Amino acid sequence: MGLRRLSDIIVVDTDILIDAGRGIGQALDCLGEYERQRRIAVSVITKMELVVGCRDKRELHGMEKFLSRFRLLHLDGNISQKADELLLQYRLRHGLLIADALIAATSISWNCPLLSKNQRDYRFISELDLLPYDLLISAHLYK
């Protein structure tokens, strides 16, 4: 599987976008810090998870407007194949979920780091460049 290179892009996990949508300062600050350094992208799986969380059309419209500022990375054959490999390798031992496998596979396939608050969901995937959520740590590492 050939890797694409998007060195100026960072993939953000669903959990951080949920917190940002709720107005949680740490998530907003973290997103802002990374946006100053790199372009932010989200997996289409993240978008789908956020759609499922919307309770009405107003929330759906707000979520779509919020996501419009980020690059959307769609699934393809390489991502599907990588997600399948990750599930086979990590489902039984670590409890890897389908959505998390697809998001991790997206980051790996695009050769982009993944920013997630839920480090335990991904930390066992050795080929994934997993970034810390803590703003002070991440700002120090990527300046």
**pLDDT score, position 2:** 47
Q: What is the distance of C-alpha 56 from the center of its chain?
A: 24
**pLDDT score, position 8:** 85
**pLDDT score, position 138:** 47
CA-based torsion, 78, 110, 74, 17: positive or negative: positive
Instruction: Please answer whether residues 73 and 41 qualify as being in contact, where contact means their C-beta atoms are separated by less than 8 angstroms.
Output: yes
**Tokens 């600050």 correspond to what residue?**
29
d(CA 59, CA 67): 12
- Tell me the pLDDT tens digit for each residue of 104-140: 999 999 999 999 999 999 999 999 999 988 754 444 4
Which one-letter DSSP state was computed for residue 8?
T
Q: Which of 66, 57, 64 is nearest to 19 (CA)?
A: 66
**pLDDT score, position 68:** 95
- Tell me the pLDDT tens digit for each residue of 72-100: 999 999 999 999 999 999 999 999 999 99
d(CA 121, CA 50): 18
- CATH code of 9-138, in short, is 3.40.50.1010
**pLDDT score, position 140:** 46
Residue 4 has pLDDT above 70, yes or no: no
Catalogue the E-assigned strands of the chain: 9-12, 39-43, 71-73, 114-115, 130-131
Asked whether residue 100 is marked as a ligand-binding residue, the answer is: yes
**pLDDT score, position 137:** 45
Expressed in angstroms, the distance from the first to the final Cα of the chain is 31
**pLDDT score, position 6:** 56
Q: Considering the entire predicted model, what is its pTM?
A: 0.88
Asked whether residue 13 is marked as a ligand-binding residue, the answer is: yes
What is the C-alpha R_g of the chain? Answer: 15
Instruction: Please answer whether residues 103 and 13 qualify as being in contact, where contact means their C-beta atoms are separated by less than 8 angstroms.
Output: yes
Instruction: Please answer whether residues 142 and 115 qualify as being in contact, where contact means their C-beta atoms are separated by less than 8 angstroms.
Output: no
